[in-house]
Amino acid sequence: MNIIVCIKQVPATTNVQIDDKTCTLKREGVESIINPFDEYAVEEGVRLKEKLGGKVTVISMGPPQAESALRETLSRGADEAVLVTDRAFAGADTLATSYTLAMAIRTVGQFDLIICGKQASDGDTAQVGPGIAEALDIAHVSYVRKIEQTTNKLDNPADNCMRVERMMEDGYDIVEVPLPALITVVKDINTPRLPSLKGMMAAKKAQIPHWNAEKINADKSRIGLSGSPTWVKKIFYPPPRKGGDMLSGEPQELAKKLVDKLRELKVI
């Protein structure tokens, strides 16, 4: 089974600062990590490969330093990694990003399954996974919490499919999806492994190709700022949350104080 996992490198903290001068986010000196949701995507890809055979290729779009995130996925069992990087990609919104990653996936070639994390912890949009699926004209299922079954026969690829559980607000849907397909996964799906020593050695030595816009045959009008219908007009801090009343006393007293206050506010 050929699996492609898309990952994003994000700041290690969500507690980011705005640069007063440029009014953009301060990126310098902020440690970067693999988007937490993407770790589940990598792990699920590696598990499927271990069960069914095949290969896991990890792709990321980002600046050259995103290579370190890709290298880490190799230490956790992925086979190959590709960095899609070009200054022309800068300023991409979710539509341009989806298109760019889809073109990179086309360049990788044949695949059975694409796995993404449900969303990135910086943008929090959850839009790129379904966007890639649309750009590649394949089916997708978002918020997958479990892969129940995979049918992947080489002799009859038309029948290959997956049965997955899609998380909903009040339960889950069981959905069957034909391969090739794209799924986005939630934390519930697995517990990611730690890098192995052997993996780390291999990751250190691995060659990670850098692909630019030309290499992936991208249409210039559909990448970066020019391919992005949405623009960030401004960023700002939300009003800080102030503390309120510290109540102390006997449990009985505390309970009465709280319930009285909530009744006063007419919220219960």
Partner 1 sequence: MPNKIEIIKGKCTGCGLCIKSCPFGAIMLVDRDEPLGKIKKIAVIDVLKCNFCGACVEACKKYGAIIIEKEQVEDTLKKIYADYKGVWVYAEQRNNEISPVVYELLNEGGVLAEKLKVELSAVFIGHNIEQSAQELIYHGANKVYVIDDILFKDFQDDPYSEILARLVKEEKPEIVLFGASNIGRSFASRVAAKIKAGLTADCTGLDICPDTKNLLQTRPAFGGNIMATILTPQHRPQMSTVRHKVFKKAQRDTSRKGEIVRKKFDLTGIKNRTKFIEFVRDTSARVNLAEADIIVSGGRGLGKPEGFKLIEEFAGVIGGAVGASRAAVDSGWIPYSHQVGQTGRTVAPKIYIACGISGQIQHLVGMVSSDIIVAINRDKEAPMMKIASFALEGDLYEVIPCIINELKSA
255 makes contact with partner 1 (CB under 8 A): yes
Residues whose CB is less than 8 angstroms from the CB of residue 101 and which lie 6 or more positions away in sequence, other chains included: 6, 59, 61, 84, 128, 132
CB of 106 to partner 1, least distance (A): 15
- Among 1, 2, 37, 223, which residue interacts with partner 1 (rule: CB under 8 A)? 37
Q: Which two tokens stand for residue 98?
A: 């989806």
Binding mask 119-138 for partner 1 (x = CB under 8 A): --xxxxxxxxxxx-xxx--x
Nearer to partner 1 (CB atom), residue 138 or residue 147:
138
Within 173-232, the residues that bind partner 1 by CB under 8 A are 173-178, 181, 186-188, 225, 228-232
89 makes contact with partner 1 (CB under 8 A): no
Q: Which two tokens stand for residue 68?
A: 């370190």
172 makes contact with partner 1 (CB under 8 A): yes
Q: Which two tokens stand for residue 219?
A: 């249409």
- Among 171, 194, 207, 264, which residue interacts with partner 1 (rule: CB under 8 A)? 171
CB of 246 to partner 1, least distance (A): 5
CB of 207 to partner 1, least distance (A): 32
Long-range contacts of 104-110 (CB under 8 A, 24+ apart): 104/59, 104/61, 104/211, 104/216, 105/4, 105/6, 105/59, 105/132, 105/136, 106/136, 106/216, 106/217, 107/211, 107/215, 107/216, 107/217, 108/4, 108/57, 108/59, 108/82, 110/2
CB of 215 to partner 1, least distance (A): 22
